[in-house]
Chains A and B, each alone.
Chain A
Amino acid sequence: MSAELFSLFYQFADVFAFLILSAAGLAIVFGMMGVINMAHGEFIMCGAYVTVGLVNLGVPLAVAQILAAVTAGLIGVLVEFLVVRRFYKRPLDSLLATWGLSLIVTQSMLLIVGSAVRGIGTPEGSFVIGGYTFSTYRLVLFGCAVAVLAGLYIIFMKTRFGVIARATMQNAAMARALGARTGRIYAISFGIGTGLAGLCGALYAPTMTLIPTMGATFVVESFVTVVIGGANVLLGTAPAAVFLAMIRMALNASYGQIIGQIGMLVAVILIIRVLPEGLSSVLVRRGR
């Protein structure tokens, strides 16, 4: 019985980690900043490729993963400076610009590194509970997801940068009038967002096939989570991931992957119908 319970928790943790890690970066870039970043998946792909490249050069996996996240973050800052900066007041145009960017990046990767890259294997081994074997690395992923949430909370709620960033996102003109360097705040926030996307790719790289279009696997889940979560990253994304993970885990376990996927999307439609502003709108109102 305890094995069954642990199995349920493990499945939940697995889906939860996937949703949080794929959505965390987008929660900042789309949820807070309002940039519809269609290239989110490509930043994830970037994190995965950098990780595998570094590991093949002999860098330890954990170090490679951190460097990959940093790389994606720096590229994000550059992209913000070159492209995204021009589209803050034109969200629909940001969709087109970042979509174009994603097409260019995917095809360039295909031309530069080829259609298939050799994987690096999952570390950490496995453990046994009551007749089931589990991959330890999946629990590491869950731990990372929780750490990312905690990190975001600290950055945006407990630091001076967080206060100014939230002020900038709420009312850029007022923040600028009070002396905040809004341009820099936007660039850093975008960089944190893409860095988290890179981290997601870096963390999942050892468990997946690397192809230039691999980012697409994460994009639906990440947008769904952020849209359900609503504008408030901290109060929205985490509850949304918990909610979607419960639905998906229950349906996956009883009816298989197809029903799990359909069920999750149906739940999303229902929620948006009832709560157009997302889960965080309710939680924020309750909080007041």
Chain B
Amino acid sequence: MNSGRKLGMVLLGAMLGTATAISVAQAAEPPLKVGLLEDVSGDLAFMGMPKLHGSQLAVEEINKSGGILGRQIELIHLDPQGDNARYQEFGRRLLNRDKVDVLIGGITSASREALRPIVDRTTTPYFYTNQYEGGVCDASMISMGAVPEQQFSTLIPWMVEKFGKKVYVIAADYNFGQISAEWNRKIMKDLGGEVVGEEFIPLGVSQFAQTIQNIQKAKPDWLLTINVGAAQDSFFEQAAAANLNLPMGSSIKVMLGFEHKRFKPPALNNMHATANWFEEIDTPEANEFKKRWHAKFPDELYINDMGYNAYNALYMYKALVEKAKSIKLEDMRKVIATGDACIDAPEGKVCIDPKSQHTSHRMRLISVGPKHEVKVEKDYGTIQPYWLGEIGCDLTKKNDKDQYTPSHLPKKS
């Protein structure tokens, strides 16, 4: 009896001891907190869900392989539901209350611009994971997506050469659509082309009979479709029903909103787009990545470009922290300044450009056929995000915190 009780005490003591040892180890190495702001409800949920999944997949993989500098990652995800005010509120909560070590996320350019001033008041790095209209020169922000010199400078010349010099633009009426349309005007002018019509559409508009008539009146050779969100995507179905039958080009269709998976063929027929990622890309690295993703999320309709970039963002963060041996933004920026901030992504090697803190990408142009089959038309190889550096943004020297466009360039000093 007595010996039994003694044994019990020893066992209990041993258990307590182990528990204390584990908690001491955890206290010495607290997890890295990653704040994630992605819409998984609201109008953009269908695009935001893959972003959350990409982040979760990367966190799981990194944690399994030992974490970052031996520390595990704790993902704190909040859902701003597509509301820019909520982006700001949740951004503040993550930065000030949860004291996250890095902030990742945001879908629209409006949500990014809502977050940026809040991030700028802290020393926390912010990863924006979408392709966008380009031009943000801000030391706090690292941009993982493609920008106009990677998307429009490849797409528009190809469309002009293939289909003709007259383009009609339908664009969402906010900063992304307006600035992208400005890029199109500039590139078309350089090519000697003509913009025969531009229509800016308020978010939430879902009826396009008038737009379709306007397009037919203007008789363009092709359409640039940079309409955004589920409501505006209804354009494709309605244009197909009216037999509009024009070639289309876009910097956001197929790879972001997988319209070719959501609409019945042939609504997306003759669509052309350039991006650093399409799920249809067929290389050993891409296939291996897709296999891991679908194993974890079997119901995913499409691994979209922003979900893919969200996955890469965590690996880029890991690479920066490990090279800098620090989680401080200033130390990470010293690594970026060397030009050696690179990772081996499923698309190939991508690096952060020191001057703009944007990412180089291997760009491909795809076309969608009548049965919504996707064909890679052209592989442009790796394109640097050169534009900001050329016009005078140099984050290794000064922090502009500004967004530039072809009509708003930095002052020469």
Interface residues of A (CB under 8 A from B): 7, 10-11, 14-15, 18, 106-107, 110, 114-122, 124-126, 131-138, 206-209, 211-214, 216-217, 249, 252-253, 256-258, 260-261
Contact = CB atoms under 8 A, between A and B. Distances in A.
A118 B204 contact: no
6 contacts: A7-B213, A122-B238, A138-B209, A209-B263, A256-B200, A258-B201
A252 B49 contact: no
B3 interface: no
Interface of B: 40-43, 45-46, 48-49, 173, 199-202, 204-207, 209-211, 213-214, 216-217, 230-231, 233-234, 237-238, 240-245, 258, 261-265, 267, 299, 301
B22 to A, nearest CB: 36
B238 A115 contact: no
Contacts of B45: 110, 115, 211-212
Given A118-B261, A118-B262, A135-B241, A213 B210 contact: no
A116 B43 CA distance: 10
A192 B301 CA distance: 36
Contacts of A122: 237-238, 240-241
Given A7-B213, A257-B199, A258-B200, A116 B243 contact: no
A107 B41 contact: yes
Contacts, number: 132
Given A120-B264, A132-B216, A258-B173, A211 B207 contact: no
B308 to A, nearest CB: 17
A131 B213 CA distance: 10
Contact of A11 (B173, B213, B233, B243): B213
Contacts of B213: 7, 10-11, 132, 253
A15 to B, nearest CB: 7
Given A132-B216, A133-B244, A209-B230, A261 B301 contact: no
A207 B241 contact: yes
Nearest to A256: B199
B216 A121 contact: no
A131 B216 contact: yes
Contacts of A121: 237, 240, 263-265, 267
B200 A119 contact: no
B43 A211 contact: yes
Given A115-B40, A126-B243, A258-B200, 12 more contacts: A14-B207, A115-B45, A116-B230, A118-B261, A121-B265, A125-B241, A135-B209, A136-B241, A217-B206, A249-B210, A252-B210, A258-B201
Contacts of A118: 261-264
Contact of A207 (B216, B217, B234, B245): B234
A125 B204 contact: no
Nearest to A120: B264
Contacts of A249: 210
A260 B216 CA distance: 19
A119 B264 contact: yes
Contact of A257 (B210, B265, B267, B299): B210
A7 B194 CA distance: 26
Nearest to B197: A256
A120 B265 CA distance: 9
Contacts of A15: 207, 209
Given A121-B267, A122-B241, A11 B262 contact: no
Contacts of B261: 118
Contacts of A209: 206, 230-231, 233-234, 237, 262-263
A198 to B, nearest CB: 18
A214 B233 CA distance: 12
